[in-house]
């Protein structure tokens, strides 16, 4: 076996039905460009000796700002045509975590999640209370229209006509964006951000901002970010389950993720994907849906972007 | 044989039969409840207060256990036990919940059916009399697991739940506690939680109420409901409504409900961690609970959990001064306690 990479990062931009035939070359290029920008942005932090925490925050912020992906600008819309955003970040070093749910006016929810971790004594803030905290922390709020794109409106209208978003041409990533990283000091971190499901009921919160479900990091074990049908990931306590399988049963990260995605979630009826990094910087990306927008890069020279 | 001798032999046989019946009770029914952990000490308690708390715990046990005895589901039993404590103003859930910084109750609850498993939860609701019932409606009548704030109340209305004014939840005792907390410390400090000693708002009961149950059919269920922390920031959500953190049930492992400093329970995914250790480390339930409480202590967190497995084994543990708690099962166990060193 080759020597483990000193630092490593993996990202995802959502999982779901991504039939190759329906993705035009131009669209595929813009997805790949978005993934590359986030991957390289996060990797640059690690390469200059930055922390895993800074790397995942950077990668996720870039994905939030890219309207291709379902988080931040370009997030999926609720049944009231509003964006309602969830995010979480976890630092495996001290197992500190911060999360926000159902915020409507915060440009980069991942930054607010990080602020909850660092400046409040809480882990999870929701709704208007989370935005009040944002104001106290000098965040500039943006109108909800900032998040709305013409494409997401079309998808919402299609869904409300009874069409499934996954049947649309061109398809759009459902899900979520996320990143996991290991830095040169061996610290692990995970971050996840999402607009949730198209046409969701206001107030619905998925797995992304729930520590242990969509996001988890524990030094010496692994860091995980999930994407998929959130309700199933919550019930399976997916991200923590993978870490527990590695820590308590001695499974490899790959085995643990495989069991969750291909045994446990199908039994519940759910699908989706996971990215993870283990204590040594080994990256695993796996999914049970048709595709997952993803990328990985490490100090040993690995650099890959993939969709199918 | 002499008559006393026959009687003695019969007595021995009867005891042996009874012992076997208890040990072999193949389908026990069990209900375990808690009414919060925290500074619960004999020196701070009056006889009248203590009697009232014990009566409240007994009422919750009775409400849930009666259903189990009648062949009802563990899901119905935990719902009934938690609803009873929500309605009792002594406990920090439903009416009599602690108040947030703005002086309102902001309620969280979750329920999980180990047979499935299925789950439902609500957070940040302010006008729902029994949040545990709304959590159950989320589980049974929506495709979702967690609904928060106004969206959760909109769902409540759609389901025909009658909303109540915020004043319904407020009690004089909680208003006094809020006044004290406001005087004691700023609403939220700016130093990170890992380095800061948490006091003030953790004073008194770190309440939450919860229940875990096992029914005749062998199904486990867990439920938790809370008003959170006195003087909490508007929008703060603790571990109670988070599946895996404060509430978890799976027939494949165990059922757990937690109470304590929620932020620590979230980070350590306490409820699920108990079940993961039970299942994957092949530990007994009591050992799994002990390890998790030990880790909680090490990270600086305070609180307790109640846990129950499919064989009917019960584990209750806490690292705070006390925890309101109760156990009742078909093997004849029937206990309520609140202080350290007491049964159960």
Interval A10-40: pLDDT, tens? 999 998 877 666 778 888 899 999 999 999 9
Please tell me which of the candidates B148, B189, B281 has its beta carbon nearest to residue A126. Answer: B148
Residue A172, pLDDT > 60, answer: no
Residue A4, pLDDT > 60, answer: no
Chain B CB contacts of A201 under 8 Å are: 142, 144, 147, 151, 154-155
CB contact under 8 A, B148 and A201: no
Residues in chain B: 344
Spacing of C-alpha A245 from chain mean position: 21
Which residue numbers of A are catalytic? Answer: 176
As a whole number of angstroms, the distance between CA A148 and CA A76 comes to 8
Kindly identify which residue of chain A lies nearest to residue B100, measuring between CA atoms.
A129
Active-site entry in B79, B84, B201, B208: B208
Chain B CB contacts of A219 under 8 Å are: none
Kindly identify which residue of chain B lies nearest to residue A131, measuring between CA atoms.
B235
Please tell me which of the candidates A121, A132, A235 has its beta carbon nearest to residue B243. Answer: A235
Q: What is the DSSP letter of B1?
A: -
Give the mutation candidate from A84, A118, A124, A239 for the B interface (greatest B CB count, under 10 A).
Answer: A124
Please tell me which of the candidates B144, B236, B263 has its beta carbon nearest to residue A204. Answer: B144
Distance from CA of A63 to the nearest CA of B (A): 25
Instruction: Please name the residue that has the structure tokens 């242990």.
Output: A212
Paired tokens of B138? 């989320």
Give the mutation candidate from B119, B128, B144, B256 for the A interface (greatest A CB count, under 10 A).
Answer: B144
- 58-117 in chain A: CB under 8 A from chain B: 90, 94-97, 101-102, 117
The pLDDT tens digits of the residues spanning B269-303 come to: 999 999 999 999 989 999 999 999 999 999 999 99
The pLDDT tens digits of the residues spanning A104-159 come to: 999 999 999 999 999 999 999 999 999 999 999 999 999 999 999 999 999 899 88
Q: How much is the pLDDT for A53?
A: 98
Chain B CB contacts of A95 under 8 Å are: 267-268, 299
Kindly identify which residue of chain A lies nearest to residue B147, measuring between CA atoms.
A204
Q: How much is the pLDDT for A246?
A: 98
Distance from CA of B145 to the nearest CA of A (A): 6
Q: What is the DSSP letter of B185?
A: S
Distance from CA of A264 to the nearest CA of B (A): 11
C-alpha distance from residue B122 to each of A200, B235, B269 (Å): 16, 12, 18
Torsion, Cα B20 B24 B25 B28, to 10 degrees, reads 130
Chain A CB contacts of B118 under 8 Å are: 235
Residue closest to A175 by CA, chosen among A33, A288, A23:
A288
Active site residue B84: no
In percent, the amount of chain A with pLDDT more than 90 equals 86
Q: What does DSSP say about strands B118-125 and A291-298: parallel, antiparallel, or unpaired?
A: unpaired
CB contact under 8 A, B267 and A211: yes
Give the mutation candidate from B244, B251, B282, B291 for the A interface (greatest A CB count, under 10 A).
Answer: B244
Tell me the pLDDT band of A74, cut-offs 50, 70 and 90: very high
The pLDDT tens digits of the residues spanning A85-115 come to: 999 999 999 999 999 999 999 999 999 999 9
Orientation angle between helical segments B131-141 and B149-158, nearest 10 degrees:
70
Yes or no: say if B294 and B22 are a contact pair by the CB < 8 Å rule.
no
CB contact under 8 A, A204 and B146: yes
Task: Assess: ipTM above 0.95.
Answer: no
Chain B CB contacts of A114 under 8 Å are: none
Q: How much is the pLDDT for B25?
A: 73
Query: Can you say whether the dihedral through the CA atoms of B169, B173, B175, B177 is positive or negative?
Result: negative
Orientation angle between helical segments B131-141 and B74-87, nearest 10 degrees:
150
Phi-psi region of A14 (alpha: psi -120 to 50; beta: other; left: phi over 0): left
Distance from CA of A288 to the nearest CA of B (A): 20
Tell me the pLDDT band of A162, cut-offs 50, 70 and 90: confident
Kindly identify which residue of chain A lies nearest to residue B201, measuring between CA atoms.
A121
Give B166-178 as a DSSP string: GGGT--HHHHHHH
Residue closest to A210 by CA, chosen among B148, B49, B180:
B148
Paired tokens of B47? 């006889």
Chain A CB contacts of B251 under 8 Å are: none
Beta bridge partners of A188: A182
Yes or no: say if A198 and A16 are a contact pair by the CB < 8 Å rule.
no
- 213-232 in chain A: CB under 8 A from chain B: 213, 216, 230-231
* pLDDT less than 70: residues of chain B: 1-4, 6-24, 184-206
The pLDDT tens digits of the residues spanning A201-252 come to: 999 999 999 999 999 999 999 999 999 999 999 999 999 999 999 999 999 9
Yes or no: say if B149 and A102 are a contact pair by the CB < 8 Å rule.
yes
């Amino acid at each position: 076996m080759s020597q483990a990479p000193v630092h490593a990062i993996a990202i995802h931009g959502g999982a779901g039905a991504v039939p190759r035939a329906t993705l035009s070359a131009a669209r595929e290029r813009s997805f790949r460009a978005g993934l590359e920008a986030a991957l390289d942005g996060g990797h640059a932090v690690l390469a200059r000796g930055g922390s895993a925490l800074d790397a995942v925050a950077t990668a996720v912020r870039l994905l939030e700002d890219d309207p291709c992906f379902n988080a931040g600008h370009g997030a999926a819309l609720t049944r009231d045509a509003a964006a309602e955003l969830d995010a979480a970040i976890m630092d495996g070093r001290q197992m500190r975590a911060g999360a926000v749910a159902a915020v409507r006016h915060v440009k980069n929810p991942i930054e607010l999640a990080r602020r909850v971790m660092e400046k409040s004594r809480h882990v999870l803030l929701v709704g208007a209370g989370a935005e009040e905290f944002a104001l106290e922390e000098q965040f500039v709020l943006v109108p909800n229209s900032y998040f709305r794109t013409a494409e997401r409106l079309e998808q919402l209208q299609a869904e409300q006509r009874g069409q499934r978003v996954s049947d649309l041409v061109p398809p759009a990533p459902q899900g979520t964006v996320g990143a996991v990283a290991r830095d040169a000091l061996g610290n692990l971190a995970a971050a996840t951000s999402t607009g949730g499901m198209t046409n969701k009921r206001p107030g619905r919160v998925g797995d992304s901002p729930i520590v242990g479900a969509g996001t988890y990091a524990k030094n010496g074990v692994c860091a995980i970010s999930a994407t998929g049908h959130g309700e199933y990931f919550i019930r399976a306590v997916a991200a923590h389950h993978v870490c527990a399988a590695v820590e308590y049963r001695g499974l490899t990260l790959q085995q643990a993720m495989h069991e969750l995605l291909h045994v446990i979630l199908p039994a519940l009826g759910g699908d989706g994907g996971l990215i993870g990094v283990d204590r040594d910087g080994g990256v695993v990306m796996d999914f049970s849906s048709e595709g997952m927008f993803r990328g990985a890069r490490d100090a040993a020279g690995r650099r890959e972007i993939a969709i199918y | 044989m002499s008559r006393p001798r026959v009687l003695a032999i019969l007595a021995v046989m009867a005891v042996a039969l009874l012992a076997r019946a208890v040990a072999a009770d193949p389908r026990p029914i069990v209900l375990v409840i808690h009414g919060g952990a925290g500074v619960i000490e004999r020196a701070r308690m009056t006889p009248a207060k203590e009697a009232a708390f014990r009566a409240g715990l007994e009422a919750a046990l009775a409400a849930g256990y009666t259903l189990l005895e009648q062949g009802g589901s563990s899901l119905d039993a935990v719902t009934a036990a938690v609803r009873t404590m929500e309605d009792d103003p002594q406990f920090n859930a439903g009416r009599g919940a602690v108040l947030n910084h703005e002086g309102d109750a902001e309620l969280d609850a979750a329920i999980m059916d180990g047979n499935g498993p299925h789950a439902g939860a609500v957070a940040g609701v302010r006008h729902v009399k029994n949040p545990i019932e709304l959590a159950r409606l989320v589980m049974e009548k929506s495709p979702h697991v967690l609904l928060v704030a106004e969206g959760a109340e909109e769902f409540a209305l759609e389901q025909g739940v009658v909303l109540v004014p915020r004043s319904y939840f407020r009690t004089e005792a909680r208003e006094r506690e809020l006044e004290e907390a406001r005087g004691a410390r700023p609403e939220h400090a700016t130093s990170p939680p890992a380095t800061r000693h948490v006091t003030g708002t953790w004073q008194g009961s770190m309440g939450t109420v919860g229940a875990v149950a096992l029914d005749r059919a062998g199904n486990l269920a867990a439920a938790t409901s809370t008003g959170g922390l006195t003087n909490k920031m508007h929008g703060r959500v603790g571990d109670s409504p988070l599946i895996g953190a404060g509430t978890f049930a799976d027939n494949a492992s165990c059922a757990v409900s937690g109470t304590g400093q929620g932020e620590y329970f979230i980070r350590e995914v306490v409820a699920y961690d108990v079940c993961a250790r039970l299942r994957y480390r092949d530990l007994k339930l009591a050992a799994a609970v002990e390890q998790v409480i030990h880790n909680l202590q090490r990270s600086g967190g305070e609180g307790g959990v109640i846990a129950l497995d499919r064989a009917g084994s019960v584990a209750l543990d806490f690292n705070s001064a006390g925890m309101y708690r109760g156990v009742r099962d078909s093997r004849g166990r029937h206990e309520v306690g609140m202080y350290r060193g007491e049964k159960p």
